[in-house]
Chains A and B, each alone.
Chain A
Amino acid sequence: MGDVDSEGPVGEPEDENGAIGPFPSWGWVYGSVVVYTILAIVLLHVFTVTFDYSLP
C-alpha cells in the first residue's frame, strides 16, 4: 500500500491482463474467492457440530 504521492498519473492505462499477485489471472482470483466461501461455510458447519456440547 503506497502513499498518494507515490502513485502514478491520473488515468493510467488499465492493466487487466497478467498476474494478480500470486494468481495467474482474475479468473483464478474469483475462483479462489468462491472456494474460500465454500470452505468458510464448511468450516463453520464443522465448528458448529464439533463444539456443540449441549445435551441431546
Chain B
Amino acid sequence: MSGLDWAVFAVYFGVVVGFALWQSRKNVGVEGYFLANRRLPWGAIGLSVMATQASAITFIGTTGQAFDDGMEFIQVYLPQPIVMILLCVVFVPFFYRAKIFTAYEYLETRFDAKTRSLTSLLFLVSRGLAAGIVLYAPAIVLSVIMGWDERITILIMGAITILYTMAGGITAVIWTDVIQMLMMFVGIAAALVILFGTLPAEVGVGDVVYIGGIQDMWSSIDWSWDPTNTYTIWSGMIGGFFLALAYFGTDQSQVQRYLTAKSLRSSRLSLIFNAFLKLPMQFAILSIGVLLFVFYHFERPPLLFNSAEVTMVHESERGEEFRLLELEHGDVHSLRRTATLELLDARRDGEDLSGLQQRIGQYDGQLRGLRQDAKAIVSDVRGVSSNDVNYVFPSYLVRYVPAGILGLMIAVIFAAAMSSLDSELTALSSATVIDFYRRYFRTGASDAHYLTVSRIATFFWGLFACAVALYAGRLGSLLEAVNQVGSFFYGSLLGVFLLAFMVKKADGNGAFMGLLAGMLAVFVVSVTTDISYLYYNVVGALTVLAVGTLMSRLSPHAP
C-alpha cells in the first residue's frame, strides 16, 4: 500500500474512534450502555441493522461467489422484505412493550427461567464463536493478499472495536455502524465504477451485459423445485424466510438494535428501511462478482486467487501437476480473450454470433473445469476444501485499484468486520449480564455496579473473539462443525418465540421440551437427508411449534 492508502486507512480509524467516543458521552447507566436510553433515531438503527448483518465475508465472499456462479445467491435475500413486515407486526410490539434488555428475557415473562436461560446460553455459545470467525475470516484473506501478519490484523481490529464498544456501549456501536455502512455503500459504488474503468476502452455497458449473459451469469431466479439446492426461488422464499425471521427476530445482536428506538414507530421504521434497501445492496455486491467475471475475459486471472494455497500446492508432491494446469489455464484464457474480442466486433457488425459463442462457451467450460481440478488438488494437499472465492475480489483490488482507493477499499473490509463484531460484543455482553449475572448471581446491585460488570463482560467477549480468531486456523473442521451446530438450533429458537407469540396456552415445559425436540429433529434431518441447510430452520421451527403445543396441552397444569 502507498502512503496515500495508509493515510486513508488512518483517517478511517481516527474518525470511527473519535465519533464513537463523542456520540457516547451521554450514555447513562446500564440502560444507556445496552439500549442508548431508548432514544436513537430510526435511520441510524436501520443502517446499524444492515451493517451488523453485512460482515467482511459478505463483502468479499459474496463477490467471489458471484464470480464463480453468477447472481443466484440473491434468492436467499428475497424473503427479507416480507420478514420485516412480520417482525413489525408480531415481534417488535411484544419486545418493545415488554421493556426488556434481551430477547431471551421476554421468554421468562412468557414461559419460565429455564427456557430463557437455555435460549440465552445457546446464543452466547454460537455468537461467541461466530465473533471470532468475524475477525478471523478477513484477517486471513488480508494476510494472503496484502502480506500482513494475520495476528496483527486480528489484534488491531479487535483492540479498536473493544475500545470503543467498552467506552460507548450501544450508542457508540450504532453510530459507528452508520459511518461504516455509509463507507460500504461508497465502497460498493467505487468498486463498480473502477471495474468499468479497468475494462478495455472499446467494451461498453452493453458488451458487459452480453458477455455475462453468454454464460448465464445474470440468472437470478431458478424456478425449479429441488430442496437439495440452496439457490432456487423456493429454497430462498421458504428456507430463507425462516432463516431471516430467526436471525432478525430472535438473535440478540439484531433485537438489541431495534430496542434502542425512541418509540415503537421508530423500531418499525428501522426495519422497513431495511426491507427496501437490502435487496438493491445485495444485487450491487453480486454484480461486482459478475463484472469481475467479465473483466477477467480481458485480463489473465490466476488459476486460483489464494496465493498461499498456490504456494503450498507448488511445494507439494502434486506441484508439477498443478503447474501443468496453470499453463493450460493460460493457453485457454488467451483463446477465450481472442474469441471474446472477435465476438464483440462481430456483434457490432451484425454478423452471425453462434459459432463464436459456442467457442467461448467451450473455453469457459474448460476454464471452469481447470479451476475445479485445481481446487480439488488444493483440497487433497490441505486436507480441507479450498476457500478461493474469498480471495477473488481482494486480489483484484491489490492488482488493479489505484492508490488511495485501495486504502479506502481495505478500510471498507475492516469496517464490515468491525461493524459486525461491535454489535456481537454488545449483544453478548447484554445476554451475559442481564440473563445470567443479574438474574442468578447479583440481584439488586446498583446501576453503577452493573455498568462496570457490563464493560468487563464486553472486554471478556472481545478477548474471547480475538482468542478464537487467533487459534481459528488450528481449529480446522471444528469451525465448520460450529457453523453446522448453529444451523441446528436457529430454527428451533425461532419456534420457541413463535410458540410464545402465537399459542396462548403454551407453557414453559412445553416450550422447553419443544426446543429440545426441534434441535433433535434438525439433527436427524441433517444426517438422514441431503436437503439444503436453509430448510433446517423450517424443520426446527415447525417441530417446536408442534411439540411445544402438544406438551403444553398434556401438561398437568393445563386447564
Digitize A14-44: 1 where CB-to-B-CB distance is under 8 Å, 0 elsewhere. Answer: 1110001000001001100110110011001
Q: CB-CB < 8 A to B361: which residues of A? A: 54-55
Q: CB-CB < 8 A to B26: which residues of A? A: 4-5
Query: In the complex, how many residue pairs between chain A and chain B have their CB atoms under 8 Å apart?
Result: 101
Asked whether A37 lies within 8 Å of B220 as measured between CB atoms, the reply is no
Asked whether B357 lies within 8 Å of A55 as measured between CB atoms, the reply is yes
Residues of A in contact with B, size category: 20 to 34
Asked whether B39 lies within 8 Å of A47 as measured between CB atoms, the reply is no
Q: CB-CB < 8 A to A1: which residues of B? A: 41-44
Within 8 Å by CB of B78, from A5, A29, A41, lies A41
* Cβ-closest chain B residue relative to A14: B264
Given A10-B37, A16-B264, residue A48 in contact with residue B43 (CB < 8 A): no
B263 proximal to A (CB < 8 A): yes
Give the distance in Å from the alpha carbon of A28 to the alpha carbon of B392 in the complex: 42
Give the distance in Å from the alpha carbon of A5 to the alpha carbon of B39 in the complex: 9
B486 proximal to A (CB < 8 A): no
Nearest-neighbour CB distance to chain A for B30, whole angstroms, equals 14
Asked whether A51 lies within 8 Å of B212 as measured between CB atoms, the reply is yes
Q: CB-CB < 8 A to B263: which residues of A? A: 12-15
Give the distance in Å from the alpha carbon of A34 to the alpha carbon of B26 in the complex: 39
Which 4 interchain pairs have the tightest Cβ spacing? A1-B43, A53-B213, A51-B218, A44-B220
Q: CB-CB < 8 A to A52: which residues of B? A: 213, 216, 218-219
B23 proximal to A (CB < 8 A): yes
B89 proximal to A (CB < 8 A): yes
Q: B: which residues have CB within 8 A of A?
A: 23, 26, 36-44, 74, 78-79, 81-82, 84-85, 88-89, 171, 209-210, 212-216, 218-221, 233, 262-265, 268-269, 272, 275-276, 279, 354, 357-358, 361
Given A7-B39, A33-B85, A52-B218, residue A12 in contact with residue B209 (CB < 8 A): no
Within 8 Å by CB of B220, from A16, A29, A33, A47, lies A47
Given A1-B44, A5-B26, A10-B38, residue A34 in contact with residue B85 (CB < 8 A): yes
- Majority-rule SS of B interface residues: helix
Q: CB-CB < 8 A to B43: which residues of A? A: 1
* Cβ-closest chain B residue relative to A6: B41
Give the distance in Å from the alpha carbon of A40 to the alpha carbon of B275 in the complex: 12
Nearest-neighbour CB distance to chain B for A42, whole angstroms, equals 9
Given A1-B44, A30-B85, A47-B220, residue A37 in contact with residue B272 (CB < 8 A): no
Central interface residue in A14, A15, A36, A45, by most chain B CB within 10 Å: A14
* Cβ-closest chain B residue relative to A30: B85
Give the distance in Å from the alpha carbon of A41 to the alpha carbon of B528 in the complex: 33
Asked whether B272 lies within 8 Å of A29 as measured between CB atoms, the reply is yes
Q: CB-CB < 8 A to B78: which residues of A? A: 37, 40-41, 44
Asked whether A37 lies within 8 Å of B82 as measured between CB atoms, the reply is yes
Give the distance in Å from the alpha carbon of A2 to the alpha carbon of B213 in the complex: 44
Give the distance in Å from the alpha carbon of A30 to the alpha carbon of B209 in the complex: 34
Asked whether A10 lies within 8 Å of B39 as measured between CB atoms, the reply is yes
Q: CB-CB < 8 A to B358: which residues of A? A: 55
* Cβ-closest chain A residue relative to B283: A44
* Cβ-closest chain B residue relative to A23: B272
Nearest-neighbour CB distance to chain A for B429, whole angstroms, equals 20
Give the distance in Å from the alpha carbon of A48 to the alpha carbon of B40 in the complex: 40
Central interface residue in B26, B81, B268, B357, by most chain A CB within 10 Å: B81
Asked whether B262 lies within 8 Å of A8 as measured between CB atoms, the reply is yes
Give the distance in Å from the alpha carbon of A8 to the alpha carbon of B219 in the complex: 47
Within 8 Å by CB of A40, from B212, B279, B354, lies B279
Asked whether B221 lies within 8 Å of A45 as measured between CB atoms, the reply is yes
Within 8 Å by CB of B265, from A5, A15, A41, A53, lies A15
Asked whether B81 lies within 8 Å of A37 as measured between CB atoms, the reply is yes
Q: A10-B262, A26-B88 are in contact. List 4 more A-B contacts (CB 8 A).
A: A14-B265, A34-B82, A44-B78, A48-B219
Nearest-neighbour CB distance to chain B for A22, whole angstroms, equals 12
Give the distance in Å from the alpha carbon of A55 to the alpha carbon of B354 in the complex: 7
5 CB contacts below 8 A, A to B, read A1-B44, A26-B268, A30-B89, A54-B214, A55-B354
Give the distance in Å from the alpha carbon of A11 to the alpha carbon of B99 in the complex: 10
Nearest-neighbour CB distance to chain B for A29, whole angstroms, equals 6
Nearest-neighbour CB distance to chain A for B181, whole angstroms, equals 12
Give the distance in Å from the alpha carbon of A33 to the alpha carbon of B209 in the complex: 29
Given A7-B41, A30-B88, A33-B272, residue A51 in contact with residue B262 (CB < 8 A): no
Nearest-neighbour CB distance to chain A for B147, whole angstroms, equals 38
Nearest-neighbour CB distance to chain A for B274, whole angstroms, equals 10
Nearest-neighbour CB distance to chain A for B404, whole angstroms, equals 28
Given A54-B361, A55-B354, residue A7 in contact with residue B218 (CB < 8 A): no
Asked whether B88 lies within 8 Å of A53 as measured between CB atoms, the reply is no
Asked whether B39 lies within 8 Å of A33 as measured between CB atoms, the reply is no
Q: CB-CB < 8 A to B209: which residues of A? A: 51
Asked whether B276 lies within 8 Å of A33 as measured between CB atoms, the reply is yes
Nearest-neighbour CB distance to chain A for B42, whole angstroms, equals 8
Within 8 Å by CB of B210, from A37, A47, A53, lies A53
Asked whether A16 lies within 8 Å of B265 as measured between CB atoms, the reply is yes
Q: CB-CB < 8 A to A29: which residues of B? A: 272
Given A8-B262, A15-B263, A53-B213, residue A33 in contact with residue B218 (CB < 8 A): no
Asked whether A33 lies within 8 Å of B84 as measured between CB atoms, the reply is yes
Give the distance in Å from the alpha carbon of A6 to the alpha carbon of B357 in the complex: 60
Given A40-B78, A53-B210, A54-B361, residue A8 in contact with residue B268 (CB < 8 A): no
Give the distance in Å from the alpha carbon of A30 to the alpha carbon of B220 in the complex: 25
* Cβ-closest chain A residue relative to B36: A4
Nearest-neighbour CB distance to chain A for B60, whole angstroms, equals 23
